[in-house]
Amino acid sequence: MTGAESRRPDDDERRFTVVLRVGPPESVLALGGELDHDTAGPLREALANAVAARPERIVVDCAELAFCDSTGLNALLHTRLDAQQVGARLELAALRPPVTRLFEITGADAVFTIYPTLDEALAP
């Protein structure tokens, strides 16, 4: 191959992962891989569990999230409303450029508090 090689992400980079850490005063969800229609189920389940724990805040760490489509965005928007109903806030941290773009073009960046890093989101 001449010129720039095009590299396809391997399965580990594409595979969607979600890890929920519940604890006062916030719950943290760490997302990784590609979030789309086919992988949104585990996100919805983790978000529901985070809301059920009734923390003050739910922080979604997107540092390892390579892609998010409208399905993932809608899950976050719906959960934001569910969180508000139990007195919690849903906030985002460390959005990568492709995910940032989705939030910007849809206007969703105006309804979420978004931090540059997870450390900044969790700072007192």
How much is the pLDDT for 47? 97
Specify the CATH number for the domain of residue 80. 3.30.750.24
Percent of the chain whose predicted confidence (pLDDT) is above 90: 85
* Distance separating alpha carbons of residues 4 and 112, to the nearest angstrom: 37
Tell whether 49 is covered by a domain: yes
Residue 30's identity, in one-letter code, is A
Over 80: is that where the pLDDT of 12 sits? no
Whether 7 is covered by a domain: the verdict is: no
The encoded tokens of residue 95 equal: 């959005």
Residue 68 lies in a domain: yes
- DSSP code of residue 119: H
Establish if 83 belongs to a structural domain. yes
Which residue range is the domain that position 35 belongs to? 12-119
Contact in structure between 102 and 68 (CB atoms under 8 Å): yes
Number of domains the chain is built from: 1
User: b/e per residue, 90-116, with b = 16+ CB within 10 A?
Assistant: bbbbbbeeebbebbeeeebbeebebbe
Query: Distance between alpha carbon 20 and the CA centroid of its chain, in Å?
Result: 11
Residue 62 has pLDDT above 80, yes or no: yes
Is there a domain that residue 18 lies in?
yes
